[in-house]
A and B are shown apart, each in its own frame.
Chain A
């Protein structure tokens, strides 16, 4: 008679656990929403200096999640696509922050010197590279893949989050025909238009969080 009641109890426990989990995930992930203020963060850049999102009020900010071992990141660096975007941003006084959330021992994890060396060797031009080996900024922004892109306007409001473009492959040859969503968002912001699309599927390798 009892065997049937045991799974019921188990499922109750499972449900309870699931609810607790749901609650805890919500607590950790205050889901970033387009149209709402981008979550502020305090981080350390590759030079060991503190960086806060609030430092850049009045300027547009771009967040780029990156991992140099990921083929999708390599697609955009080996082609020079990412560097071109970074240089354009610098020219337009847009703050470009590359974020590395790989946990120690995982693909893409670097120390400050390693990050600078990558910037140097790839001829990249971010305003700064943020070291986030605990994944706290990544989880704050729910960054899922590399590259995962976020565009924040002068008022600190999140305007775009998602993929870098609309061709979710690792083929360099697809870059030429793709629509770049970051460029698109910046243009629409400059023209005073609503960003569309404002949310897309970010494609790439999973961010190598520690847990």
Chain B
């Protein structure tokens, strides 16, 4: 075939030279008209011995024709390059850009259309003494539309050695390399695992920060043939911390073997009214048999499932937590709810309750009314939570267990509550008092109000905690209909309430409790410390949300709470004016603090002068978003680049990884004296939303480059960034801005 191609090429040449040709020759030329225009390009114009650089095979592909990825799919053949380079030069494998799926009848191939750059890294030897180097690529590829044509070319490029100390500069083709990088899979360290489930392969991906509501399409492209059926659909379901793709086994996997799956995940993400394609590198190790359900939903579990799977053999069900049905989810919810009683945030509250039961001992106070009241308190709280979740989900919010914690005011109020509980358990004021002591009161009164509110309090205390089994159940519930969600959450409440209800109702069960005695006081005081730990955690959460000012507000609030507790301690409970005053002080303190953390950022941000100083001393500073600060910086003659981002936005992360980090980016900031500001929209922020709105965006990413001239409009950068776009735009704002006429 090669010889016939060559013949055709020569014939074409002769025909062209002679200015005409026989009919037969013209037909031959038409048939063998090459479908790919290939060129060998370099990213640099010169190179230095010992310093790696990149060259690449560029293919310009005729419309409707394709060349192929390293796994070409059901048919086709990847492009191959045989390098001829001088001794000592090392050439890497091709760094394959992400492919697209090409449907051909019932088959699917993986490849490229229009154009593609296949880059390799060349490492020249340190001791290279020549003036220039010639690199030659013998490239061959298959190009197909309906039919396939093998083509080949021998291509060379000559690169001179950089003179003196000059660093090798970019070539005119460097933007093509940047564009290829933008389309090369990024490793975001997502944990993934594969498991054989019935006749499918389930690929589970943990990507907690991913916002699936923005994702329009997810497809997995394995990098070798035979693992999965390339043409089969890949239905996606949500899982507690990411998603699951159901893949159909390929011919090799049919033989009963599921090896590690490696490949590229291609996600199409909705971004500001536009669909953006991102690709993420994935390596999924197999899980044999079992999976540890209990930890599936726990936050912060970082262990690689592939490894963890081997040890977690106690649970033998082959079904993953994501694959559970409604009954399973309800069972998990009941179990998880029961275990929730043992969690550090709940245990102290529950312990109080248990101790009060123990004190009442066999006095016969355990009655149906109290048990039912407690049960209704818990169920009512969980029902309310389910309904709030349902309403918010319907309005398009993305929620998880503990969504309330996105609100700094809520976090603050919880910190106050836990601190007050802790203080009372430490003995600062009497827990038997009526402020927080519903638990104790219950045994003294037969009325239903006491146990009902104990149930509510325990439920509130439970919200920051996740117990084993719960993650799977709640994850299931959040992805389903409102009815299913309510059922699962009620089951959770039922499980949560069950132990206490049992203790209250059944005397024999209550006899299992330890005998009351002096140890109870010590135990109660010890229990204060997990509560203090919870307070510290809550303040830490607050610090993430609001920064140092939130911590200050929290600290002041805690002092006010402590003061109120002290007043209560000194109060004659029955008659003293101190009681209402103390309560008023505490409530006022919490309310003030809560209001202050919920204010827009402008009111809380550090002073402008501080920020400006930081900016002057080191340009590569990532400051938090503040409109006034940006104006101030611009007045002082500095352009500002603002990156509107969020932890849950993959496009943002890919852009940050590819274009907004690294030497080139930092150099560009430095060279053009640009201040870098990150506007993090992970949490709601009215100030940021307003700016997004004013640029017609409903979400992130948005990249704004504010020229130094305060009157000038900001330049909007594309949503898909490459290093060269950023560098070029930075350069143009410098040149284009009226900065030169502004005295500094």
Contacts and interface: CB of A to CB of B under 8 A. Distances in A.
Interface string A1-43: 1011101100000010011011001000101011000000000
Contacts of A128: none
Interface stretch (B9-17, B230-238, B538-546): B230-238
B233 A21 contact: yes
A4 B213 contact: yes
Contacts of B248: 22
Contacts of A144: 74-75, 107
Interface stretch (A48-56, A175-183, A199-207): A199-207
B149 A161 contact: no
Contacts of B106: 25, 29, 139, 209, 211
Contact of B77 (A21, A29, A199, A203): A203
B146 A208 contact: yes
B96 interface: no
B24 interface: no
Contacts of B396: 1, 3-5
B254 A145 contact: no
Given A31-B254, A145-B74, A210-B105, A201 B225 contact: yes
B150 A106 contact: no
Interface residues of A, number: 48
A172 B232 contact: no
A15 B236 contact: yes
Interface string A92-121: 000000000000001100000000000000
A156 to B, nearest CB: 19
Contact of A70 (B104, B147, B270, B395): B147
Given A139-B106, A145-B75, A199 B235 contact: no
Contact of A71 (B104, B149, B216): B149
A139 B394 CA distance: 44
A5 to B, nearest CB: 7
**Residue of A33, A205, A207 most packed against chain B (CB within 10 A):** A205
A211 B148 CA distance: 18
A139 B1 CA distance: 29
B105 A70 contact: no
B394 A170 contact: no
Given A22-B235, A139-B106, A107 B2 contact: no
**Interface range on chain B: under 10, 10 to 19, 20 to 34, or 35 or more?**
35 or more
B247 to A, nearest CB: 11
A171 B254 contact: no
A165 to B, nearest CB: 14
A211 B251 contact: no
B184 interface: no
A75 to B, nearest CB: 7
A71 B148 contact: yes
A159 to B, nearest CB: 13
B109 interface: yes
A7 to B, nearest CB: 7
A69 interface: yes
B147 A205 contact: yes
B370 interface: no
A153 B146 CA distance: 34
Contact of B255 (A15, A19, A199): A199
B85 to A, nearest CB: 22
A203 B255 CA distance: 20
Contacts of B252: 199
A209 B108 CA distance: 13
Contacts of B109: 206
B105 A211 contact: yes
Interface in A146-181: 161-162, 168-172
A57 to B, nearest CB: 25
Contacts of A162: 251
A62 interface: no
Nearest to B106: A209
Contacts of A168: 77
B1 A7 contact: no
A186 interface: no
A34 B256 CA distance: 12
B210 interface: no
Contacts of A205: 75, 144, 147-148
Contact of B232 (A4, A15, A25, A208): A25
A89 interface: no
A199 B144 contact: no
Interface string B203-228: 00000000001001000000001100
Interface string B61-96: 000000000000011110010000000000000000
Given A4-B213, A107-B147, A170-B150, A206 B1 contact: no
B142 interface: yes
A185 interface: no
A74 interface: yes
A206 to B, nearest CB: 4
B148 A207 contact: no
A198 interface: yes
A206 B104 contact: yes
Interface string B472-504: 000000000000000000000000000000000
A61 to B, nearest CB: 19
A5 B235 CA distance: 19
B395 A199 contact: no
Contacts of A3: 396
A70 to B, nearest CB: 6
**Residue of B105, B109, B140, B236 most packed against chain A (CB within 10 A):** B105
Contacts of B254: 31, 33-34, 199
Interface string B669-705: 0000000000000000000000000000000000000
A31 B1 CA distance: 34
Given A31-B254, A71-B150, A15 B235 contact: yes
B740 to A, nearest CB: 46
A208 B147 CA distance: 8
**Residue of B1, B104, B270 most packed against chain A (CB within 10 A):** B1
A15 B235 CA distance: 6
Nearest to B248: A22
A152 B213 CA distance: 49
A161 B109 CA distance: 19
A8 B2 CA distance: 52
A172 B1 contact: yes
Contacts of B148: 70-72, 205-206
Nearest to A25: B232
Nearest to B217: A14
Contacts of B394: 1, 5
A74 B233 contact: no
Contacts of B146: 106-107, 208
Nearest to B394: A5
Given A171-B140, A205-B75, 20 more contacts: A7-B213, A7-B216, A25-B106, A31-B254, A33-B254, A34-B255, A70-B148, A71-B148, A71-B150, A72-B148, A106-B146, A107-B146, A161-B251, A162-B251, A199-B254, A199-B255, A201-B225, A205-B148, A206-B105, A208-B147
Pairs A-B, 8 closest by C-beta atoms: A4-B396, A209-B105, A18-B233, A206-B75, A170-B150, A201-B225, A205-B148, A145-B75
Interface of A: 1, 3-5, 7-8, 15, 18-19, 21-22, 25, 29, 31, 33-34, 69-72, 74-75, 78, 106-107, 135, 139, 144-145, 161-162, 168-172, 198-199, 201, 203-211
13 contacts: A1-B394, A7-B213, A19-B235, A21-B233, A31-B254, A69-B147, A145-B75, A198-B255, A199-B251, A201-B251, A206-B74, A207-B107, A208-B105
